[in-house]
Amino acid sequence: MPNLSASGNQLVQSLAQRHGLSPDAVTHMLIAVSNGNGTMAQFNHPEFGGGGQWMQGGMTMVSDLFNNYLKNQVNNLCSDIANELANHQSAPFSGSFQSQSQNGSSAQSQAAGSMGSDNSLFVPDPSTNWWPKELGSPAAIGSQNQTRYAYFPNSRRLAVTTGGEAWVYDTLNHQIGGFSQQQGVGGSITFSSQFGTVDLSSLPVVSIGGVPQTAPSQPTPQNPAPQNPAPQNPEPAPPQASDNFQSEPDQSMNNAPPMTSSQPSNGNGDNDDVIGKLDRLGALKEKGYITDEEFATKKADLLGRL
């Protein structure tokens, strides 16, 4: 939790008297609005009816859905805090991520980058610029639970920390716009880009704690190689049906009269030749050397010669 400066404590006392709230409740909301970059807040305090959300120019949500007085009180307090944060901001805020978390009951909450790092209402935190110095100033920052992000689109880098060493990722050709973190054991972190929702672990790791990774892991290819490639020496294809059946190694064919041009060319001889071919064609089909389709096609061709 950030510490308030002297001007921050003075503001809390003033807002508490103005809105009829305790300094603790006002401090809680001040930090919540600061974490929401002055435009939104996620809060949970007894004086505000428990958990709720506020969005500038949007809907105010409290646990007591029909308590309009409480909604107006929260909206007025948050609006005043947002104006004070803007007036005390010592450096312009460059941007923020929109983050979402999801718990077991499928309820969603949102948070964005904090303005407190450059705001005179808070005591400067030496751990604010936690990312490697060589990355420069981020275009957007964000925080969610214990995880913090800093995005550097010009150098295609993303820094992430959970309170320990900063992990720097290569963002490739992604244009990151937000994060989502699944709660619970083994919860994963995903981000949104122009390609949809992507798992953070798919990005190559550039460095960990300032130590370069010489062989960063690469994302899984979109079209991986087949698991069972074709054998190098495939089985030969079965023989195709043709007019010359004498080349087939069928013993029944060897007992049939040879098909040569020396046979008589009268009408009965031609018919006998066709019938012989039909017999041998049927033998090929029975032994599985030709398919039913090949058999039917050749049979129709031979019958047309009768």
Q: E strands along the chain, which residues?
A: 40-45, 50-55, 61-62, 98-102, 108-111, 140-144, 147-152, 157-161, 167-170, 178-182, 189-193, 196-199, 205-208, 211-212
Given the structure tokens 């005591």, which residue do they identify? 123
Q: Of the residues 231, 260, 293, which one is the last residue of a structural domain?
A: 231
Q: Which residue has the higher pLDDT, 58 or 156?
A: 156
Residue 109 structure tokens: 């909450």
Of the chain, the percentage scoring pLDDT greater than 90 comes to 32
Tally of domains within the chain? 2
Instruction: Please compute the mean of the pLDDT values over residues 170-183 and round it to a whole number.
Output: 83
Distance CA(171)–CA(178), nearest Å, equals 13
- Closest by CA to 160, choosing from 114, 192, 197, 191, is 191
Domain of residue 287, residue span:
245-303
Whether residues 203 and 136 fall in one domain? yes
CA 203 → CA 93, 97, 200, 207, 218, distances in Å?
Answer: 27, 18, 6, 12, 7
Residue 97 structure tokens: 């991520």
CA angle, residues 108, 97, 104, in degrees to nearest 5:
20
Residue 286 lies in a domain: yes
List, for residues 248-278, the tens digit of each pLDDT value: 444 433 444 444 433 444 455 566 787 888 8
Q: Which residue has the higher pLDDT, 264 or 153?
A: 153
Judge whether 212 and 206 are in contact, CB under 8 Å. yes
Whether residues 215 and 255 fall in one domain? no
Whether residues 144 and 201 fall in one domain? yes
Distance CA(60)–CA(50), nearest Å, equals 13
Whether residues 171 and 263 fall in one domain? no
Number of alpha carbons in the 13 Å side-chain half-sphere of residue 152: 17
Distance CA(216)–CA(156), nearest Å, equals 15
Whether residues 194 and 222 fall in one domain? yes
**pLDDT, position 106:** 35
Residue 32 lies in a domain: no
Residue 92 lies in a domain: no
Residue 178 lies in a domain: yes
Whether residues 167 and 227 fall in one domain? yes
Residue 167 lies in a domain: yes
Given the structure tokens 């923020």, which residue do they identify? 96
Non-local (6+) Cβ contacts of 93 within 8 A are: 37, 38, 113, 115, 118
Q: Which residue has the higher pLDDT, 292 or 106?
A: 292
Whether residues 164 and 213 fall in one domain? yes
Whether residues 152 and 206 fall in one domain? yes
Residue 271 lies in a domain: yes
- Closest by CA to 30, choosing from 41, 19, 21, is 41
Residue 18 lies in a domain: no
Judge whether residue 243 has pLDDT over 60. Answer: no
In 3-state terms, the chain is what percent helix, strand and coil (to 5)?
35, 20, 45
Whether residues 226 and 249 fall in one domain? no
Q: Of the residues 201, 231, 261, which one is the last residue of a structural domain?
A: 231
Sign of the dihedral through C-alpha 131, 135, 136, 140: negative
Residue 263 lies in a domain: yes
Judge whether 62 and 107 are in contact, CB under 8 Å. no
Instruction: Please compute the mean of the pLDDT values over residues 206-216 and round it to a whole number.
Output: 83
Distance CA(288)–CA(282), nearest Å, equals 10
